[in-house]
Homo-oligomer: A and B are copies of this chain.
Amino acid sequence: MIPKVALIGAGRMGAIHGRNAAANPSLDLVYLVESRPEAAAGLAAELGCRTATFAEVLVDPGLAGVIIASPTSAHLDMVLAALRVGKAVFCEKPLDLELDRLRAAEAELKAVDPPLYVAFNRRFDPHFQALKAKLASGAIGSLETLHLISHDPAPPPPSFIPTSGGLFRDFTIHDFDMAGWLVDETPADVFAWAECLVDPAIAEAGDVDTARVILRYASGRICVISNTRRSGYGYDQRVEAYGSRGAAMAGNPHISTLETWTEAGALAAPIFASFPARYAQSYRAELDHFADILAGSAAPLTGYEASLRALVLADAAGRSVKSGAPVALETT
């Protein structure tokens, strides 16, 4: 019996998860919940599922899980509502933008059953998985320093900024999770410098668009995170891990292997222009993971704990920018 699931949200991420759910032979996508009628109808038709309200979805006893891709501000309430009626949850990151709200719901969010998966998709990227496996193999010795590069091709519309949570909570949050995944240790201190170099409208909206964040660990390890909202050359997503006996580098896949050799040099094809193409495999793999969770054969790779850890770092980075000094993290 293939488990029935509902998709909440027909926005950009909703469409991605919806298409992957519809094509996944281990999931049966039956509902789409979306308040904008036109968006709902169009996507539901494409996905071959019904439209419904969130309330209707919650009371369907045959429904096994929900995929929440609503606006960020609605994530936490919807997650809790679904968990309370026993539905497994796939929630687009971030779970919430406020530490206090997360912590207040800790007991429910940490409960094993029903399970909660929070979609830190980069952990499912095959390039980064290959790097993690290489670290585990001991091929480069003991990990000492890490460099995470995450550069957006172009800034979001300024209207997005005020509700985004800001660069660290919206964007760097992925890098904070990657650091948590790749380094077997909790950071002791965070330092960040952040600027607005890309678009003055971002500064007017109270945010930054360019940052360097450094994490320091008790062992002496150091992790540098490099962020910009506009690269000019595509969606640049790399990890460089330096160990005691070598280094492992996960670079950018290119849109093709074509090279054009002329007097100007050898031009390689561009890297992917944005996340839907760059991370297509990881988004599909996340749905496979959710199917495994629903089948009881896997526990969520990331849930409340990972969300909290990443948000704590985002929060600390923001305080470092304000104070101009490193921020020590509580060790618990």
Which residues on A are within 8 Å of B, measured CB to CB? 22-23, 25, 46, 48, 126-127, 129-131, 134, 139-141, 144-145, 147, 151, 189, 191, 193, 195-198, 210, 212, 214, 216, 220-222, 224, 226, 228, 230-234, 236, 242-271, 324-326
Q: A193-B191, A247-B231 are in contact. Are A256 and B126 (CB under 8 A)?
A: yes
Taking CB atoms, residues of chain B closer than 8 Å to A226 are: 145, 147, 224
Which of B134, B214, B270 sits near A258, CB closer than 8 Å?
Answer: B134
CB pair A222 B212 closer than 8 Å: yes
Query: A249-B258, A259-B251, A261-B249 given as contacts; is B224 within 8 A of A195 (CB)?
Result: no
Query: Contacts of A242 on B, CB cut-off 8 Å?
Result: 151, 228, 231
Report A258 CB to chain B, min CB distance, Å: 4
Contact check, A224 vs B246: say whether CB atoms are below 8 A apart: no
Residue of B nearest to A260 (CB): B248
Instruction: Please name all residues of chain B whose beta carbon is closer than 8 Å to the beta carbon of A270 when the two chains form the complex.
Output: 263-266
Partner of A262, one of B131, B232, B263: B232
Q: Are B228 and A212 in contact (CB under 8 A)?
A: no
**CB neighbours of A245 from chain B (8 A):** 232, 262
CB distance from A217 to the nearest CB of B (A): 9
**A222 touching B210, Cβ below 8 Å:** yes
A232-B244 contact, Cβ under 8 Å, with A210-B145, A267-B264: yes
Task: Give the shortest distance, in Å, between A116 (CB) and chain B (any CB).
Answer: 28
| A-B CB proximity, top 7 nearest | A195-B220, A246-B262, A130-B256, A233-B261, A251-B257, A130-B258, A232-B245
Please, could you name 10 A-B residue pairs with CB atoms under 8 Å apart, sorted by A?
A22-B25, A130-B258, A131-B258, A144-B210, A232-B246, A246-B262, A250-B257, A254-B265, A264-B270, A265-B268
Q: Given the complex of chains A and B, what is the CA–CA distance between A324 and B326 in angstroms?
A: 7
Say yes or no: B251 contacts A222, CB within 8 Å: no
Please state if A216 and B193 are interface contacts (CB–CB under 8 Å): yes
Do A144 and B214 have beta carbons less than 8 Å apart? Answer: no
Residues of B within 8 A of A264 (CB): 267, 270
